[in-house]
Amino acid sequence: MKKILLLEDMEDRVVAFRAAITKLADVEMILWRDASTMIRDLSEHLSTASIISLDHDLLPAKGSASDPGTGLDVCEALAKQKPTCPVLLHTANYIKVWPMMNELAFAKWDIHRTPPVRMDEGWIETVWLPRIKSLLERNPRG
């Protein structure tokens, strides 16, 4: 089974990502809504990941005052690991994506970018999903 590790906090996007994943055969998506939990769980999932897809800006969960961190936090943690799969940055934050890319590039990760291209979540199926399919096809674990 192929495994996509996803960092995303926006519920509308989460729903759209889950719907998109159903169009792929033999693919499992593991979702985190905050950086620290994803970082903690990387040791369990990184060795079997086919793709990692990261957002940057994360909001606290409803009713929570804890800081969810950012996608850059995850990139900094990944930079300390041996590259294992492509990383797709799906953040709309065109300024903060550069430090994310730099962290990963210096550590020799295979980096890709798919920013949201519309205000609604339709870009997940029309832009993100085709990129995921392409990366899965060319990744030995995909």
The CATH code of the domain that includes 112 is: 3.40.50.2300
DSSP 47: G
- For residue 25, give its domain range: 2-138
Q: What is the mean pLDDT of residues 77-88?
A: 97
What confidence score (pLDDT) does residue 65 get?
73
Show Cβ contacts of residue 132 under 8 Å, excluding neighbours closer than 6 positions.
4, 20, 24, 51, 53, 88
DSSP 60: P
Token pair recorded at residue 84: 């294992």
Least confident range of 40-44, 49-53, 56-60, 130-134: 56-60
What confidence score (pLDDT) does residue 142 get?
58
* pLDDT value at 120 more than 90: no
How many residues are present in the chain? 142
Distance CA 90, CA 87 (A): 10
Q: Does residue 141 or residue 57 have the better pLDDT?
A: 57
* pLDDT value at 22 more than 90: yes
What confidence score (pLDDT) does residue 141 get?
63
Other beta carbons within 10 angstroms of residue 54's beta carbon come to 27
Q: Facing residues of 113 across strands?
A: 89
The reported pTM is 0.94
Structurally, how many domains does the chain consist of?
A: 1
Least confident range of 2-11, 62-71, 87-96, 103-112: 62-71
Q: Does residue 139 or residue 19 have the better pLDDT?
A: 19
Token pair recorded at residue 94: 């065109």
Cβ-count burial 82-115 (b if 16+ within 10 Å, e if not): eebbbbbbbbebeebbeebbebbeebebbbbebe
* pLDDT value at 119 more than 90: no
